[in-house]
Amino acid sequence: MVVLNVFTAIGVGLLAQSGLLAIALVGMVAQGTARSIARTVTVGWTNHFTDRSNRATVHSFVGQAQSLGEISGGIILGIVAQRVGISAALTASAVIYLLASGWSRRGHTRWAAPAPVRFR
C-alpha cells in the first residue's frame, strides 16, 4: 500500500506539474492504475483479516470511510482549485497521498510478521 500511494502521488504530481499532454496522460494513467490496484488490495485485506460473520459490515464501513474522505477532501481541494488553481489543488492532492503513504508505513510496522494464510 505504501508503494501504491507513492505511485499515485507521483502520477498526480506529473499530472499537476506537466505542461505536456503526453506526460500528463502518463501521470493520469499511473494514478488511475495505482488507485485501482489499491482498491483491490483493500478488498483483499478486508476479506482476509475479517471474520465471515461481520465481513459485510466491515466492507460497508471501509466504503463509507472512503466516501467521507473523498467528499471532504474533494470540497477542500475544490476550494483550493477555485482560489489558487487546478495545479495547486492537484499538487496538494499529491502531498495528501504522500502523507497517506507514511501512515500506511506506520501501520505496517505495528505487526512483526504477516498473519499466516490458512487454506481449508
> What integer pLDDT is reported at residue 109 of this predicted model?
59
Q: Is 116 domain-assigned? A: no
Q: Is 19 domain-assigned? A: yes
The owner of cell 470511510 is 65
What is the number of structural domains in the chain?
A: 1
Q: Is 114 domain-assigned? A: no
pLDDT digits (tens, 9 = 90+) for 68-118: 988 999 999 999 999 999 999 999 999 998 998 888 777 665 555 555 556
> What integer pLDDT is reported at residue 50 of this predicted model?
84
Is the per-residue pLDDT at 19 higher than 70?
yes
Is residue 97 within 8 A of residue 10, CB to CB? The reply is: no
CA angle 67, 72, 37 (to 5 degrees): 40
Q: Is 115 domain-assigned? A: no
Is the per-residue pLDDT at 63 higher than 80?
yes
> What integer pLDDT is reported at residue 92 of this predicted model?
94
Q: Is 118 domain-assigned? A: no
pLDDT digits (tens, 9 = 90+) for 40-52: 988 888 888 888 8
Question: If pLDDT is split at 50, 70 and 90, which confidence band does 17 have?
Answer: confident
Instruction: Pick left, alpha or beta for residue 113 (phi over 0 → left; psi -120 to 50 → alpha; otherwise beta).
Output: beta
Q: Is 119 domain-assigned? A: no
Environment class of 71 (CB within 10 Å of its CB; exposed 0-12, middle 13-18, buried 19+): exposed
Q: Is 14 domain-assigned? A: yes
Range of the structural domain that residue 34 is part of: 2-108
Rounded to 5 degrees, what are φ and ψ at 119? -105, 140
Q: Is 120 domain-assigned? A: no
